[in-house]
Chain A
């Protein structure tokens, strides 16, 4: 078997992966205290469902891993978030503002539940070199245990990040031309919505 998805979805995935990279890059150019490196993954979830989103998320970190292999285990975080967002999208979550907000909470929870154990178990509390580590160190000095410190550090950086990323996707889906949108597995959902 050569193909698991339609050609449209397959071509969307590398674009989404690039969007994950560019989002992260822009966030750092604009000096925002967020990652914004999951917009592509959530976008794939919204128009093509969970499996393509999981692939987009996972491969994003594999590619990051080519230059810094410590990113590779965090592929699980992207995969989990892609799964949650994709499942929610299949149920129509991105059609309404309220459900998009709830989805962002789901994505946020998935990110925390996966990122915290990876950082704590694999890397002894230091997030693959990321900015959260300084905050972790701060919480440690206040006398909290390692797990609590990593979790509190992640709470701060993840919350705004996931909320913003999910809503950017909410608006992006509405800015796509209808003729393109209908070619994706979940695209028709948003067209009917606007009529």
Chain B
């Protein structure tokens, strides 16, 4: 399968760009940046990369209800004298609306950029790119092992729960009954996993896990010229934008 332009990018460069945009949105505090610049660009990139459907599903499901709540709380409950609409205890204010817009705009920058990074990046590749910049082996291990461990343990927990049900442990009923079902389901799983750690440690050491040699990598990742330049270009753009916003006489506020 051919990789899209975002998927092809060096993982670390993508992550840096995402964080640069996030920081910029916090600093400039203009809701237009999130809603009119970053959000449309990210959706466009997802489209170009051929990931539009799964990406937009993730973004929307993360945003809609969350943002609705924020708007409700901020727009109606921010103390203000500038009320534009009122119904019983609900008072919609200009300041509240402005605050909600700014807040959700910043959140949307982080959400849309990071989700695009994770959608278009293999996590092992991301780890390799971080390891190449000096992140310790053990950090990559913790991350990657967790990602494999979670679905595996989840599968086992469901098996155990069924077995416990078959043995007559109630998993439905009042809250006390359900709370009591929690421990016998979780504890065998935890105890057996921890008991295996001794052998797992030996397994890893048998593969030179704590070797003092510097690691080499099977995944042949390297940053292309564009991957090295682009974060700097974005940084420059962000700085220029901030100057435009903050320096009197140049523009903005």
A38 to B140, CA, bound (A): 22
The B interface is mostly helix, strand or loop, or mixed, namely helix
Tell me whether B123 and A32 are in contact (CB under 8 A): no
In the complex, the answer to whether B190 meets A43 with C-beta atoms within 8 Å is yes
In the complex with contacts A12-B194, A137-B73, A7-B204 CB distance below 8 A: yes
Residues of A within 8 Å of B115, CB to CB, are 69
Q: Mark A159-195, 1 if CB is under 8 A from B, else 0.
A: 0000010001001100111011001000000000000
Please tell me if the beta carbons of A141 and B89 are within 8 angstroms of each other in the complex.
yes
A6 nearest CB neighbor, chain B only: B201
Q: Would A15 and B197 be within 8 Å (CB), given that A7-B210, A126-B69 are in contact? A: yes
Name the one of A21, A70, A122, A180 contacting B150, with C-beta atoms under 8 angstroms. A21
**B-contacting residues, A61-118, CB 8 Å:** 62-63, 65-70, 72
Q: Which residue of the partner chain, among A14, A60, A140, contacts B145 with CB atoms under 8 Å?
A: A14
Q: Which of B110, B145, B175, B190 contacts A11 (CB 8 A)?
A: B145
Please state if B74 and A124 are interface contacts (CB–CB under 8 Å).
yes
Q: Is A155 an interface residue (CB 8 A)?
A: no
Which residue of chain A has the shortest Cβ distance to B136 in the bound complex? A2
Contact A59 B146 (CB under 8 A): yes
- The answer to whether A146 and B77 touch (CB under 8 A), given A59-B143, A67-B58, is yes
What is the bound-complex CA distance between A176 and B190, given in angstroms? 9
- Which residues of the partner chain A approach B142 to less than 8 Å between Cβ atoms? 10, 13-14, 17, 55, 59
Given contacts A32-B182, A146-B77, A177-B195, contact A4 B146 (CB under 8 A): no
Partner of B107, one of A8, A43, A70: A70
> Nearest Cβ distance between residue B80 and chain A, in whole angstroms?
13
User: Does B32 have its Cβ within 8 Å of any Cβ on chain A?
Assistant: no
B150 close to A17 (CB less than 8 A): yes
Minimum CB distance partner of A168 in chain B: B183
| Given contact pairs A14-B149, A18-B150, A26-B185, A2 touches B212 in the complex (Cβ within 8 A) | yes
Using an 8 Å CB-CB cutoff, how does the interface string of B155-184 with A read, 1 for contact, 0 for none? 001000100000000010001001101110
B143 and A11: CB pair below 8 A?
Answer: no
The B184-233 residues at the A interface (CB cut-off 8 A) are 185-187, 189-191, 193-195, 197-198, 200-201, 204-205, 209-212, 215
Q: Is A51 an interface residue (CB 8 A)?
A: no
Contact status A11-B62, CB under 8 Å: no
Given A26-B186, A70-B111, A124-B70, A63-B150 contact (CB < 8 Å): yes
A-B residue pairs in contact (CB < 8 Å), sample of 22? A2-B210, A2-B211, A7-B201, A8-B197, A13-B142, A15-B153, A15-B193, A17-B149, A22-B150, A22-B189, A26-B186, A32-B179, A59-B142, A59-B143, A66-B123, A70-B110, A124-B74, A129-B66, A176-B191, A180-B194, A183-B197, A183-B201
Question: A25-B154, A141-B89 provided; 10 other pairs, C-beta below 8 A?
Answer: A4-B138, A11-B197, A17-B142, A18-B154, A19-B186, A30-B182, A59-B146, A70-B107, A137-B73, A143-B89
Q: Which residues of B contact A (CB under 8 A)?
A: 58, 62, 65-66, 69-70, 72-74, 77, 89, 99-100, 103, 107, 110-111, 114-115, 118, 123, 136-138, 141-143, 145-147, 149-150, 152-154, 157, 161, 171, 175, 178-179, 181-183, 185-187, 189-191, 193-195, 197-198, 200-201, 204-205, 209-212, 215
